[in-house]
A = this chain, B = another copy of it.
Amino acid sequence: MEKVREIVREGRRVAKEDPRRVVHSFKVGLVLALVSSFYYYQPLYDSFGVNAMWAVMTVVVVFEFSVGATLGKGLNRVAATLFAGALGIGAHHLASMSGATGEPILLAIFVFIQAALSTFVRFFPRVKARYDYSLLIFILTFALISVSGFREEQVLMLTHKRISTVIIGGLSCVLISIFVCPVWAGQDLHSLLASNLEKLSLFLLDFGDKYCEAVGNDDTKEVDKRKKDFDNYKSVLNSKSNEESLANFAKWEPGHGQFRFRHPWKQYLALGELIRQCAYRIHALNSYLNADDTKVPVDIKHKLREPLKTMSLESGKAMKEMSMSLKKMTKPSSCDLHVQNARSACKSLTNLLNSGILKEVEPLELISLLTAISLLIDIINLTEKILESLHELASAAKFKDKIERPLSFEKTNAKSIVCVRPIKCHDDHVVTIIEDDGNNDDTSKNDNRSKEVSNHEKYEGSDTHVHIKCVSCGGHTCLCDVVECSR
């Protein structure tokens, strides 16, 4: 009884994790019930006979979770069946010319050669990735047709029936999978990368705070909780095989939504690889959060706090933005600024280090601190590389520019995402306004705006006009010509 309850609980969890699984199960049941109607209705049964079974088999084997996998398998199966059918008939014809004794021997030899050769070709890495199933069906159909052809004399008739039932089964799978609540592998790959980026960003957004605060409270409960919060990024470490199979499926898919037929899926793999590289660094960094905290002197940590926090915060923000722009398929615009901020924080950190505040510290105590710093620098470098790769992807996949419209600053419409515009006031002082997304988590609601506009004052003149006054020169600028990025 306990066992049953456990299974039900597991079932609920599986369904909750991805409700499309339930829909998929219903779809499979539906298609199978439909196709098995071949047996029930006399006219259909009369034309196909026992061969109707092939339609049922095709449905069971071909119907996969995503459209790409189903299409790939379906096309593989139909093509292999056609090709093997033709070859099988040829083999049968050739064998039948060699007389009653020679025929079975020749057929056995044909089957042997074809099976051995095809099995060997399945080991080719490029074939294995895309045409493995095709070869399996090729071996199967060739063996069945050339051999059963030996018995039934109407080989052509048999082949014809077999192929048409396979096509009917495959087609119904493909149609249902495309038109009833489709699950696109391409969309999944796209979302997977965006969520991977987000996982890394969440780590980085919190890292600065956690690392610098870690000095005070070292109770184990706190450490355990912190560890759990951060373990999210770990799934990124082993996402390679998942990404590769999704990309393979996606290549079969027709254009859908914002994805064209020849969407640059390869570029996704390159981007995924860079994200994984970054995850490796984060994994190493994570070990410094908990292990050697106590070794770093408190006052040093305190002194380096500001630049360290900014470095991880800004790279985290850049990643968050990249994840958002990937999700929405818009060109990443303000990420460059975040990376730049991270770089300048890096610079001020090195200035601090060079100013000699570490002279008094034992080198051993520095190890953990400097390693964390070095890993952070690495992560910033990788963030830049990821951004580059994302730019490439954006231009290859023709991501939209962000839709820009005049600023309105209406309080009800607080949904503008981070948007950066340098504006010149009358005396050529450059003012930069950063508007953070209202939905972002707390960490990104930092004091960037106040810092950037620190020597400028900002007024809301009316509902639609925003003025800023340059403190240095007293000049006013109307923000009406400054554009806002709306969602």
Contacts and interface: CB of A to CB of B under 8 A. Distances in A.
A10 B367 contact: no
A484 to B, nearest CB: 40
A140 B22 contact: no
Nearest to A14: B123
Interface string A143-159: 11001101100000000
A359 B362 CA distance: 9
B368 A366 contact: no
Interface in A258-295: 280-281, 283-284, 287
Interface in A94-137: 104, 107-109, 111-117, 119-121, 123-125, 136
Contacts of A139: 28, 32, 60
Interface in A219-278: 237-238, 240-241
Nearest to A152: B50
Given A40-B104, A150-B40, A50 B50 contact: yes
A61 B108 contact: no
A459 interface: no
A354 interface: yes
A273 to B, nearest CB: 10
A57 B140 contact: yes
A121 B25 CA distance: 9
Contacts of A32: 111-112, 115, 139, 143
A474 to B, nearest CB: 41
Given A50-B148, A148-B50, A280-B284, A364 B374 contact: no
B363 A111 contact: no
A123 B25 CA distance: 10
A399 interface: no
A422 interface: no
Nearest to A378: B287
B21 A148 contact: no
A480 interface: no
Contact of A119 (B29, B241, B364, B366): B29
A350 B32 CA distance: 70
Contacts of A109: 33
A61 B56 CA distance: 17
Interface residues of A, number: 78
Contacts of A40: 104, 107-108, 147, 150
Nearest to A39: B147
A39 B143 CA distance: 11
Interface string A1-22: 0000000001100110000011
Contacts of A148: 39, 50, 53
Contact of A371 (B28, B117, B354, B370): B370
Given A61-B136, A366-B366, A36 B143 contact: yes
A181 interface: no
Contacts of A25: 115-117, 119-120
Given A30-B112, A241-B238, A24 B119 contact: yes
Contacts of A21: 120, 123
B115 A29 contact: yes
Interface string A356-383: 0011001110111011011101100000
A353 interface: yes
Closest 9 CB pairs of A and B: A29-B116, A40-B104, A25-B120, A371-B374, A29-B112, A353-B363, A25-B119, A29-B115, A33-B112
Interface of A: 10-11, 14-15, 21-22, 24-26, 28-30, 32-33, 36-37, 39-40, 45, 50, 53, 56-57, 60-61, 104, 107-109, 111-117, 119-121, 123-125, 136, 139-140, 143-144, 147-148, 150-151, 237-238, 240-241, 280-281, 283-284, 287, 350, 353-354, 358-359, 362-364, 366-368, 370-371, 373-375, 377-378
21 contacts: A28-B115, A28-B116, A28-B119, A29-B111, A37-B108, A39-B150, A40-B108, A56-B143, A57-B140, A60-B136, A60-B139, A61-B136, A238-B238, A238-B240, A281-B284, A287-B378, A353-B362, A363-B366, A370-B370, A371-B371, A371-B375
